[in-house]
Amino acid sequence: MQRHYGLDWLRIGAFAILILYHVGMVFVPWDFHAKLPGAWWVAVPMMASNPWRLSLLFLVSGYASRALMLRNKAAWRFARQRSLRLLVPLAFGIAVIVPVQPWVELCQKYGYPAGFGHFWVHDYFRFGAIGPLFLPAWNHLWFVGYLWAYTLALAAGALLLPQVVRQALQALFAWTMRGPALLAVPIAWMVMVNFQLFPGARETHALAGDWVAHFSYFPAFLFGYALACAPQTLAALVRWWKPSAALAVAAYALVAGIEIRWPGSTMPHPWGIVFSAARAVEAWAAIAALIGYADGHWNRDRPSRRLLTEAVFPFYIVHQSIIVLVAFWIAPLGWPGWLAFPALVAATVAGCCAFYFVGRAIGPLRPLIGLRRHASRRTHVDPRPAIA
């Protein structure tokens, strides 16, 4: 497999949007670990990426997993390699990076009286509840835990399913995912998950029992895995990217219009159903359009690509803790949103850069922030796909 630079750029962009999205969570009326004064309308632009950003990241990770599986040859080697790359930073993140988030939340919302040092030593590792929070927590790092679980499931499938079955499944995917079915089938699946399999259910990010998330993200992960060896499907995504983009924009316009009409409240029948269905349409249509556009327009290397591809995982590990802590610090200042938002973005980018460049330069820290133990010394173009 050749490296797909377009998906590298798409992954970089998706993580950049994720950082902006989590900064927006500080101001939107939705629940979050730290809050600053905001406005209801902040939810409207956030819904432009809310339905698809995580599914896209799981899809890209599945695509990269196919190349890693081929390179490792044996499924157990693939599982071991991915476990080391994912579980080490996950454990480090839970123990060191995440704790500031529940501390801020307890202080700001529930009047927790002690400082962070006392909280981390005496309360964080209690494996029990403080108020509504169960500690320790993985918060935004649930994505890493889910990705590891899906990786193990993929490796188990590779071990248990005969090769002829796997080849038949790949051929079925390539035959099905072309033409209008490339849009209709995934959208129908997303609608079925929301309305028939798990009506009214919400993601919990608790891994066990979070079926609405698993039935949404694991198929996206498998789609990416199959897409890596289905050039005809990728070509179809390129052909259909403009209709897909038009459909995504139309669906988002409907989502935004309903949110503007009934901001932050229960929508009357049947508009709640229309809202959920439009989100499902927006989710897959946007993903299909972005992949098609990335393959047709972004599949080329740039000098900055390799650095940014490596940096996104460390950025992801630390970004939310920086956002929450800085929001907590500036809350007493009473800054207006037009000043607080860019300040949070600037502080987050600066903190992420410091975390990445310092950790990158110190060998023992590299695995803790999601990097290989030793920096690559190769000077030629790295053919291996990037993956969180």
What average pLDDT does the chain have? 93
> If you ran DSSP here, which 8-state letter would residue 141 be given?
G
Q: What is the pTM of this model?
A: 0.94
Residue 383 has pLDDT above 50, yes or no: no
Question: How many helices (H) does the chain have, and how many strands (E)?
Answer: 15, 2
Q: By C-alpha distance, which of 109, 36, 48 is closest to 338?
A: 36
C-alpha to C-alpha distance for 351 and 345, rounded to whole angstroms: 10
Residue ranges of the domains in the chain? 5-98+138-369
User: Do the Cβ atoms of 19 and 312 come closer than 8 Å?
Assistant: no
Q: With bands split at pLDDT 50, 70 and 90, how would you rate the model's confidence at 376?
A: low
Encoded tokens for 139: 């918060």
Percent of the chain's residues with pLDDT above 70: 96
Encoded tokens for 254: 């409907």
Query: E strands along the chain, which residues?
Result: 128-130, 133-135
Encoded tokens for 144: 């890493």
C-alpha to C-alpha distance for 303 and 299, rounded to whole angstroms: 13
Q: Which pLDDT tens digit goes with each residue over 25-71? A: 999 999 999 999 998 899 999 999 999 999 999 999 999 999 999 99
Q: Where are the alpha helices (DSSP H) in 26-138?
A: 43-46, 53-72, 75-92, 100-110, 116-118
C-alpha to C-alpha distance for 65 and 129, rounded to whole angstroms: 36
Encoded tokens for 319: 């970004």
**Spacing of C-alpha 166 from chain mean position:** 27
- CB within 8 Å of 278: residues ≥ 6 apart: 251, 252, 254, 255, 258
> Cβ-count burial of 236 within 10 angstroms (0-12 exposed, 13-18 middle, 19+ buried)?
buried
Q: With bands split at pLDDT 50, 70 and 90, how would you rate the model's confidence at 208?
A: very high
Q: Which pLDDT tens digit goes with each residue over 255-274? A: 999 999 998 777 888 998 99
User: Do the Cβ atoms of 294 and 7 come closer than 8 Å?
Assistant: yes
Identify the three-state secondary structure at position 228: coil
